[in-house]
Structure 1
């Protein structure tokens, strides 16, 4: 069930096992993919997993409204990118989870579509679990797609494939060659296992990392299936787990 589509009485009557909170970004994804790519992907994976979970279980998953602006200052040189500070982001996610828990929905999986959110999500999930009346776990979809994960760049083959499957009208196919020509091969500028570059514009002319031409719609379908299946497995483990904090030793 999507919370934004429900009435309060629908929500009150729902048999909810856990909540999926999609978290993405509004940031450049090259000349060919939309600024909302990460939010779209996170929400789509969450909704697919919720459908699959509902088909296989007596209970259901609630899909909360997507957090669409994240920790994205690394893309600030590209017009349209929005960002908040990590402290603001963590506080917003924590308050959102607290409001979900107020209604008794205390198990929450943070379904993430943006790499820049990962550190903050890990930190806030731990804070929520240790100090609030809820249990939170972060999940990043492109880490859960098997061997495909090694090719995750930025607006490259994985994200372009995903959109070609789920939202093909949003991919500007006539700009793929330009996206490829201005792309870098890898994220960052690495020396002695340290990244010297703080912003994407330091190593990518147009913000793309990887070859978007390698991302077919068929691959996108496989990515979505793998991510949703993995998320369902995670939710089942969260629901079955005893999440009280261990006592002091």
Structure 2
């Protein structure tokens, strides 16, 4: 059930305590990929994972702005502080829990959200408000995960798969030529850079030319299958061990 399409009485009558919340970011993804890449990919994985899951689950609207100040120099990027993000996500989950959705999987598409989401899940769970678990799709794609950059092969591939009209194909070479090979500027195991402009001319990390739509389909299958498996585990878990009342 998609919450945006349901009525309040539909929600009242549904027979599940499990909800999926996509979480992304509105930020630069190079000259070729849309600012909404992290939202689009999180939603696509959430929808595909829910479809594979053989039980009822509520899918909420996406949270579209995250912890993304590292891209602040690129026009169109939006961000909030980690404190604001944690509060917003936490209160959103608490509102779901007030209606009986005490098990929540946060499907994330942005690396900058990872630490904050883990903290949110722990706080909600330990306080007994809800059993909340974050899931980041690009960590769940097997060997492909090693190619994760920013606006690089994985994100470009998945957007080419789920929203091909939004990829500016005539800018792919430009995106590749201005890309960094890796995230950050490392010395003695320490990243000296705080913002992406310090190491990437156009905000891209990795070669987007290596991310075609066929690879995107494989990524979607891997990530959604992993999500469906996680949903099963969360649905079956004795959440009382984790603080749920």
TM range (shorter): over 0.9
| 1:196 counterpart (172, 192, 195) | 192
Flag the 1:158–1:246 CA change in 2: closer, same or farther, 3 A. closer
Q: Distance in 1 between matches of 2:17 and 2:148?
A: 31
SS at match of 2:101: coil
Provide the C-alpha distance between the structure 2 equivalents of 1:17 and 1:43, rounded to a whole number of angstroms. 20
Partner of 2:80: 84
| Structure 1 residue 171: Cα displacement | 0.2
Whether the 8 Å contact between 1:130 and 1:245 is mirrored in structure 2 is no
The answer to whether structure 1 residue 153 and structure 2 residue 153 are counterparts is no
Could you tell me which of 30, 50, 61 is aligned with 1:65?
Answer: 61
Q: Structure 2: how far apart are the matches of 1:15 and 1:52?
A: 18
Q: Secondary structure at the residue paired with 2:107? A: strand
**C-alpha distance in 1 between matches for 2:207 and 2:85:** 30
What is the match of residue 236 of structure 1?
Answer: 232
- Residue 8 of structure 1 corresponds to 8
Structure 1 residue runs without a partner (length 5+): none
Q: CA deviation at 1:133?
A: 2.3
**Stretches (4+) displaced over 3 A:** none
Q: Which runs of 5+ in 2 are unaligned?
A: none
Offset at residue 17 of structure 1 (A): 4.5
User: Do the aligned partners of 2:125 and 2:242 also contact (CA within 8 Å) in 1?
Assistant: no
Aligned to 2:31: 31
What do you get for the CA RMSD once the two structures are aligned?
1.1
Equivalent residue for 2:51? 51
Q: Could you tell me which residue of structure 2 aligns to residue 42 of structure 1?
A: 42
Paired residues, what number? 243
State how far apart, in whole Å, the 2-side matches of 1:92 and 1:150 are. Answer: 31
Please list the CA deviations of residues 25-62 of structure 1 after superposition, one character each: whole Å capped at 9, or x if unmatched. Answer: 00000000000000111011001111111xx3xx3111
1:176-195 alignment, distance < 5 Å: 176-195=172-191
Which moves more between the two structures, 235-244 or 146-155? 235-244
Between the aligned partners of 2:241 and 2:124, the Cα distance in structure 1 is 12
Structure 2 CA distance, aligned partners of 1:184 and 1:178?
Answer: 12
User: For residue 131 of structure 1, what is the aligned residue in structure 2?
Assistant: 127
Matched, 1:163 2:159: yes
* Separation in structure 1 between the aligned mates of residue 166 and residue 136 of structure 2, nearest angstrom: 22
Match of 2:139 among 130, 139, 143: 143
Structure 1 distance, partners of 2:167, 2:16, is 35
